Amino acid sequence: MKTKLIIATFLASICFAQGKEATDPDKKLTLEEAVEVMAHDIGWWETKGKGMPVGGQPFAIEITKQVRWKEEGKSVEYEFIINQDGEEISYFGHQEYDAAKGIFIYRSKWGEEPETTSHGRYDPVTRTSHAETAPTTPPSPKRVSTITKRVGNDQTHQTLRVFQDDQLIYSHEIVSTRKRPVVSLFNGKDLTGWKNAKYIVEDGVLVCKGGNLVTEKQYTNYIFEFDFLLPPGGNNGLGIHYPGSGDAAYSGMELQILDNSHPRYAKLKDYQFHGSLYTLQAAKRGHLKPVGEWNHEKVTVDGPLVKVELNGVVILEANLDELNKQKPKHKGAKRRSGHICFAGHGAPVKFKNITIKELPSKKP
């Protein structure tokens, strides 16, 4: 019964991440605006929350959703993937916009249950939605109402209520988050996706010959992973929020990539060793593999938070907002987006398995 309740109510309403409790019910979106609203949802989403049947026990909700064009520019199809008794089951719905009425129309069907239809409106100013099950003949005793708000471009928050004969029988609060794919930034053949560099590709590996190797794209929030191999005395850096010119350590910020064990670096300041945010915050030492072996590093940049994991160990956790208070003259630390770069200093440091996964925006 719990699974049936989740599916029936979820499919009947979840797609209205774009509807709205209209302050002006006579105000209609243009067809172009409606297409833009539907296009926003294209992609994969993960939904989590809590279902609350009246008089029953709350339960967790976890559903994966894929949205794709059914007919591009006119309608979208929703696929819901639910784990049912240990097996992944898919259910479908579709949505279109009725320009004459100014409403989104969503239809879905689950198993032997009759098809359900919901109507919703969207307000681009508040980015809030309201949708309700469409009237039927004869009138149905059950009514489903949803209010959904977009948070940034990658998340929606929804409240759902189910009424039977005008009595609340079920509700849920859910959050849907866009799933970002992991993207390879190095194809092992050439420098596609990068610019401004004296780097070469040898045997599928990126080798530094000096200078800054800069991504063509700019990034804001992300998880950046790579493998690196240090030669004796090897020195490089990972520039984040780099504007594309100037010293990456100051116009942006630089995370050190360094052979901590070499005698020439014995007297460095603590913020100059591997993994440190140069001039800003020192990283923990002792987790590099011996020179000549491959290391794996994972860098998470999420709003003001910067975290570095080296070979599975967290060696740096920094809060840029706090660092800005301590070192207000560092211009790069104030940036929250930019290019990523490998900042070479001449040593033939090698790189491979370079990937990025963009994270949801922090904007309200």
Least confident of 75-89, 160-174, 209-223, 292-306: 75-89
Question: What pLDDT was estimated at residue 152?
Answer: 86
Nearest-angstrom CA–CA distance, 312 and 162: 46
Question: What pLDDT was estimated at residue 22?
Answer: 38
Q: How many CB atoms lie within 10 A of CB 12?
A: 28
Q: For 187-208, what is the mean pLDDT?
A: 93
> Which one is predicted more confidently, 60 or 230?
230
Burial 176-194 (b: 16+ CB within 10 A, else e): bbbebeeeebbeeeebeeb
Share of the chain above pLDDT 90, in %: 69
Positive or negative, the Cα torsion across 301, 302, 305, 309?
Answer: negative
Question: What pLDDT was estimated at residue 23?
Answer: 41
Locate tokens 């191999």: which residue?
229
Computed over every residue of the chain, the mean pLDDT equals 89
Domains and CATH numbers, the chain: 2-178 (2.40.128.20), 182-358 (2.60.120.560)
pLDDT digits (tens, 9 = 90+) for 315-349: 999 999 999 999 999 999 999 999 999 999 889 99
pLDDT(10) > 70: no
pLDDT(169) > 70: yes
Q: For 19-45, what is the mean pLDDT?
A: 76
Q: Which two tokens stand for residue 288?
A: 């590099």
Per-residue pLDDT band at 24 (split at 50, 70, 90): low
Q: For 153-173, what is the mean pLDDT?
A: 93
Question: What pLDDT was estimated at residue 9?
Answer: 54
Question: What pLDDT was estimated at residue 34?
Answer: 92
Question: What pLDDT was estimated at residue 318?
Answer: 98
Closest CA to 168 of 136, 138, 144, 139: 144
**Is this model's pTM higher than 0.75 or not?**
no
Number of separate helices (H) and strands (E) present in the chain: 4, 23
